[in-house]
Amino acid sequence: MAPIRCLFAKGQTEISRYGAYMTLKLDLVGIVVADMAKSLAFYRMLGLEIDPAADVEAHVEVVLGGHMRLGWDTVETIRSFDPSWVPPVGGHRIALAFDCETASEVDSTYAAVIASGHRGHLEPWDAFWGQRYAVVIDPDGNHVELFAAT
């Protein structure tokens, strides 16, 4: 079987074996959460508009810019269709990154997140790649990057 080859310039993926084209679009990033209310409160602090009534739901989605969606599912929801699911161990495998627009907003957002009782991973610093950069940790241990061009 021939490998899948991405044709980024055309925005398509060619599946060589069949000679067919499929248009793929990343649409949703999902987060599995132990406590929906705590997780949503954290992401509200980062500027996401999430209805407070969603705190008691088992699945929540918000539409971000460009029609991208961010979703949250409780552990119970995931295990309802995948009973063998277990949380990853040994470190994060994916991180979300929030553009803070200014270096001072990186600093103030980091400080506000820490002051509200959440953990920091990397304090704000001027990264060699030209950004003010910091990392905080959401209630489920996911890394959330804060950045702005310097």
Least confident of 11-25, 34-48, 64-78: 11-25
Tell me the β-bridge partners of 144: 96, 136
Q: Regarding predicted confidence, which is higher, 133 or 25?
A: 133
Question: What distance lies between CA 61 and its chain's CA centroid?
Answer: 12
Q: Is the pTM of this model over 0.85?
A: no
Confidence of residue 83 (pLDDT cuts 50, 70, 90): very high
Q: What is the pLDDT of residue 139?
A: 95
Two tokens, residue 113 = 């997140």
- What is the set of domains in the chain, with CATH numbers? 92-150 (3.10.180.10)
Mind listing the pLDDT tens digit for each residue in 49-77? 999 999 999 999 999 988 899 999 999 99
| Predicted confidence (pLDDT) per residue in 86-134, tens digit | 998 888 888 999 999 999 999 999 999 999 999 999 999 999 999 999 9
- The gap between the terminal CA atoms of the chain, to the nearest Å, is 47
- Sheet with 4-7: list strands edge to edge: 4-7, 12-15, 20-22
